[in-house]
C-alpha cells in the first residue's frame, strides 16, 4: 500500500476537500491489494467495487479462513501480557499519535478512500472517517488514562496500586467491513506506524459467519463489539466455555422517527427531516426513516440496493402506500436510488416499523386530536436508536426541535435502546468502561457490606475511606487469583 505523507495538516475546509478530491482521483486509478498470506486461494479472494461504478475495483483482499483466525487468536493471547503490563499512558500515546496522523498527513487520504469505498460525499466522509474517528481516538485514550485516578483507599487513606489497566490493555480481533476495506486498512496502518505493537490488533477480513463461529467458540473471548445485527445467541450458547462472562456492546440500527406537533415550525421540520433522512443516502443508523404529520452518492453495495429496491417495489404495489417523490432506482453502472418520500394511510404498515437503511422516508399524517394514540403506536417499535422529542425513556437519544442525526463525540450521548443496541451510552468515558470490571477495596476499618443483587455478579465492600472503583481489563482475572491461564481475548 502506498502512503503519501503531507508536510502539514490541512487548513480550512475548502483546502481539505480539494486535497481529498485529489487523493480520490489517485485512488480511482489503482486497486489496493491486502492479504495476510504469501498465497491466497482463489475462492478466498475478494474485491470491493466502487458503489457508484461497478467496473472499478477499489480494493482486493483475501479472506481469512477458520485456521488463520485461530492462529490470530493464539498470537494475540501470546502478545497480550506484555501489552497489558505497559503503563496506560504509553498505550494511550499510540492513539494520540494516530489521531494526530489522521488529522494531519493522512486526513485527505482517509477521506478519499472513504468516498471511493463507501460512496460518501466529502462532507459525510469528513464527519465520519476523519472528525469522529479522531475524536474517539483522543477522548477514549484520555478517559482510559483518567480511569487510573479511580483507586481504592486503604484504611490509613493511602492509595492502592491498580494492578490491571483499562480498555487498551486488551487484545483485539478486528473484522473490517468488506465495504470499508480500503479506509479501514489505512487506519490499521496508521495505528501500526503510531507505535501499536504487532498482534495487539489483528486485522482480519473474513466471512461474517466463519469469523463469528471461530471467535465465539474460543475460550479466550472476553468482549464483543459489533455493528449491524442482533446475533447474540452464539455468545449465549457458549457461555459455559468462556473463562469470563463476555461483555457485549452492539449498535444495531433503529427505526427512528420525527414526531411533528401542530405547533412545529414547518420550515425547520422540512429542512431537518430532509437532512436526517437523505444525508449519506439514509444509510445512518440514526437516520430519520419515518415522519408523523441534497446531493448524495450511490448506496453502498448490491445488497443494500436490493433491500431498498424491495421496499420501493412494495410501496408501488401496496394500496396503503403512495410515492409522492422519487421512487426510481438504477444499478446499470452504480447502485443509485432516488431520494424517496412515501405517504402511508396505515401507520402499522411494515415500512413504518422495519429499518430500510436507505434514502426512503415514510410519512403518516395523523389527526391532531389522536396524537396520544400515535405516540403509543410509536412506542410499540422495537428498534428506536434516535428520535426527536417525546418518549424520553424509550430511545437512545432524543432531540427537541432538531433532526435525529448529528450527535457529537463527548458532547452528546449516543446509545441504543430496546433491540437497537446493548450499550446505554457510547460517549466517553462511559464507552471506555463497558469492557471493564469494577472492584472496590475491602478495608478492615469498615464492617459494612452492601447487599448483593441478583442483577449483579459483583459484590461491593463499602468503606468510609473509599467510594471509588478500580478497573481491570477483561483479559485478566481479579487481582487475588491472577495466573497465566487467565489470558482472555477482547473483540
Can you tell me whether residue 476 is helix, strand or coil?
A: coil
How many residues appear in the chain?
Answer: 491
CA-nearest of 310, 233, 263, 289 to 404 is 289
C-alpha cell belonging to residue 348: 402499522
Q: What is the CA radius of gyration of the chain?
A: 24
Residues 385, 388, 394, 396, Cα dihedral to 10°: 40
State the burial class of residue 42 (Cβ atoms within 10 Å of its Cβ: 0-12, 13-18, 19+). Answer: exposed
109, 168, 251, 386: which is the annotated catalytic residue? 251
User: What is the Cα–Cα distance from 281 to 383, expressed in whole angstroms?
Assistant: 20
Cα–Cα distance, 162 to 376 (Å, whole number):
48
Following DSSP, what letter does each residue of 5-49 receive, concatenated?
--SS---SHHHHHHHHHHHHHHHHT--EEE-SSSS--GGGEEEEE
386 carries an active-site annotation = no
Residue 201: beta bridge partners? 172
Query: In b/e form, how buried is each residue of 424-462, taking b as 16+ CB within 10 angstroms?
Result: ebbbbbebbbbbbbebbbbbeeeeeeeeeeeeeeeebbe
- Residues taking part in catalysis: 251
Amino acid at each position: 500500500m502506498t502512503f503519501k505523507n503531507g508536510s502539514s495538516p490541512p487548513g480550512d475546509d475548502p483546502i481539505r476537500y480539494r486535497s481529498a478530491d485529489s487523493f480520490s482521483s489517485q485512488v480511482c486509478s489503482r486497486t489496493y491489494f491486502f492479504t495476510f498470506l504469501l498465497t491466497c486461494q482463489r475462492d478466498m479472494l475478494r474485491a470491493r467495487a466502487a458503489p457508484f461504478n461497478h467496473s472499478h475495483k477499489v480494493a482486493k483482499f483475501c479472506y481469512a479462513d477458520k485456521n488463520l483466525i485461530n492462529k490470530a487468536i493464539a498470537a494475540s493471547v501470546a502478545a497480550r501480557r506484555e501489552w497489558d503490563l505497559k503503563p496506560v499512558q504509553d498505550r494511550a500515546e499510540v492513539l494520540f499519535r494516530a489521531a494526530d496522523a489522521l488529522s494531519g498527513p493522512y486526513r485527505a487520504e482517509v477521506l478519499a478512500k472513504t468516498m471511493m469505498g463507501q460512496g460518501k460525499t466529502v462532507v459525510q466522509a469528513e464527519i465520519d472517517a476523519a472528525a469522529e474517528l479522531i475524536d474517539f481516538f483522543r477522548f477514549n485514550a484520555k478517559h482510559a488514562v483518567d480511569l487510573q485516578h479511580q483507586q481504592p483507599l486503604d484504611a490509613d487513606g493511602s492509595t492502592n496500586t491498580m494492578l490491571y489497566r483499562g480498555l487498551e490493555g486488551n487484545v483485539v480481533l478486528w473484522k473490517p467491513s468488506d465495504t470499508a476495506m480500503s479506509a479501514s486498512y489505512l487506519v490499521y496502518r496508521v495505528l501500526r506506524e503510531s507505535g501499536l505493537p504487532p498482534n495487539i490488533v489483528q486485522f482480519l477480513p473474513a466471512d461474517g459467519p466463519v469469523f463469528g463461529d471461530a471467535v465465539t467458540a474460543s475460550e479466550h473471548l472476553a468482549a464483543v463489539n459489533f455493528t449491524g445485527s442482533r446475533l447474540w445467541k452464539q455468545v449465549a450458547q457458549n457461555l459455559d466455555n468462556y473463562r469470563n462472562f463476555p461483555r457485549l456492546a452492539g449498535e444495531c440500527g433503529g427505526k427512528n422517527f420525527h414526531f411533528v406537533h401542530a405547533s412545529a415550525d414547518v420550515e425547520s421540520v422540512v429542512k431537518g427531516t430532509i437532512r436526517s433522512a437523505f444525508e449519506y443516502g439514509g444509510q445512518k443508523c440514526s437516520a430519520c426513516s419515518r415522519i408523523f404529520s441534497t446531493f448524495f452518492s450511490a448506496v453502498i453495495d448490491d445488497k443494500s440496493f436490493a433491500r431498498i429496491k424491495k421496499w420501493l417495489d412494495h410501496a408501488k404495489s401496496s394500496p396503503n402506500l403512495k410515492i409522492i417523490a422519487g421512487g426510481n432506482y438504477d444499478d446499470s453502472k452504480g447502485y443509485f436510488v432516488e431520494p424517496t418520500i412515501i405517504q402511508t394511510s396505515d401507520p402499522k404498515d411494515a415500512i413504518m416499523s422495519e429499518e430500510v437503511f436507505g434514502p426512503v422516508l415514510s410519512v403518516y399524517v395523523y389527526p391532531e386530536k389522536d396524537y396520544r394514540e400515535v405516540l403509543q403506536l410509536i412506542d410499540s417499535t422495537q428498534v428506536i436508536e434516535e428520535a426527536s422529542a417525546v418518549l424520553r425513556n424509550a430511545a437512545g437519544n432524543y432531540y427537541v426541535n432538531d433532526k435525529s442525526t448529528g450527535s457529537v463525540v463527548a458532547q452528546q450521548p449516543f446509545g441504543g435502546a430496546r433491540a437497537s443496541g446493548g450499550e446505554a451510552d457510547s460517549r466517553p468515558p462511559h464507552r471506555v468502561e463497558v469492557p471493564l470490571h469494577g472492584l472496590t477495596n475491602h478495608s478492615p476499618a469498615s464492617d459494612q457490606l452492601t447487599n448483593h443483587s441478583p442483577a449483579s455478579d459483583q459484590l461491593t465492600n463499602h468503606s468510609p475511606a473509599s467510594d471509588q472503583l478500580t478497573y481491570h481489563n477483561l483479559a485478566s482475572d481479579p487481582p487475588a487469583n491472577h495466573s497465566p491461564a487467565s489470558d482472555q481475548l477482547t473483540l
